Copies of this chain bind each other. A is one copy, B any other.
């Protein structure tokens, strides 16, 4: 297959059901594991076993990207990795700003997992720019006043928000005005995304609470 590469048509991404999109990231992660192990081809069954999904579900999901499987063989590891990166948007570099250089913020700043997916934290902002969060940071902590200019100058579209809860909504509103289009919010409060801004919120305490529920329910 792939003489020179397959077509990479944009496809109708907006019609992929969101449960599928969430799983695509898992497929990608898993394909990369198998590829690193030198496995060139993978069946929907193998992939499903690894991720605790059925083989049919894997096939239905991957079919959303177009017919990429090979009957009798499975899916080509390299092909799927690049296809999934393309669909998910990680076939390009993304510059990101981080707001908040406290405990969580500095952990995010030095977290290696982002760089592995081509996300680069190019600016860190905090009310107190004196905070030198941790040892080796790629970026320096800047005062909030510099935010708008920095975002505009670098054409940044994504932001990580790791500020205290009470500050979060105002920060997100300000980011929106500065031109940010996507926010990954770690503040443990409900934040209403301004028009035109996509937001995903991760509340660590809520995740633990959900786990406690499952453990108690034996579910």
Mind listing 20 A-B residue pairs with CB under 8 Å? A29-B203, A30-B190, A33-B189, A88-B210, A89-B215, A90-B212, A94-B208, A94-B212, A103-B107, A107-B108, A113-B188, A114-B204, A116-B205, A117-B208, A158-B208, A158-B211, A200-B211, A200-B214, A202-B204, A202-B207
Give the bracket for the number of chain A residues in contact with chain B.
35 or more
The secondary structure that dominates the A interface is helix
Check A22/B210 contact, CB under 8 A, given A189-B29, A189-B33, A190-B30: yes
Within 8 Å by CB of A198, from B106, B108, B211, lies: B211
Question: 10 smallest A-B Cβ distances: which pairs?
Answer: A107-B107, A182-B215, A113-B205, A89-B212, A198-B214, A25-B206, A89-B216, A182-B211, A13-B217, A103-B107
Q: Chain A, 90-111, contact with B by CB distance < 8 Å: what is the 0/1 string?
A: 1000101000000110111011
Are B113 and A204 interface neighbours, CB within 8 A?
yes
Are A184 and B211 interface neighbours, CB within 8 A?
yes
Are A212 and B88 interface neighbours, CB within 8 A?
yes
Closest CB in chain B relative to A49 CB, distance in Å: 9
Closest CB in chain B relative to A2 CB, distance in Å: 18
Please give, as numbers and ranges, the residues of chain B lying within 8 Å of A207 by CB-CB distance: 184, 200, 202
Please give, as numbers and ranges, the residues of chain B lying within 8 Å of A29 by CB-CB distance: 188-190, 203, 206
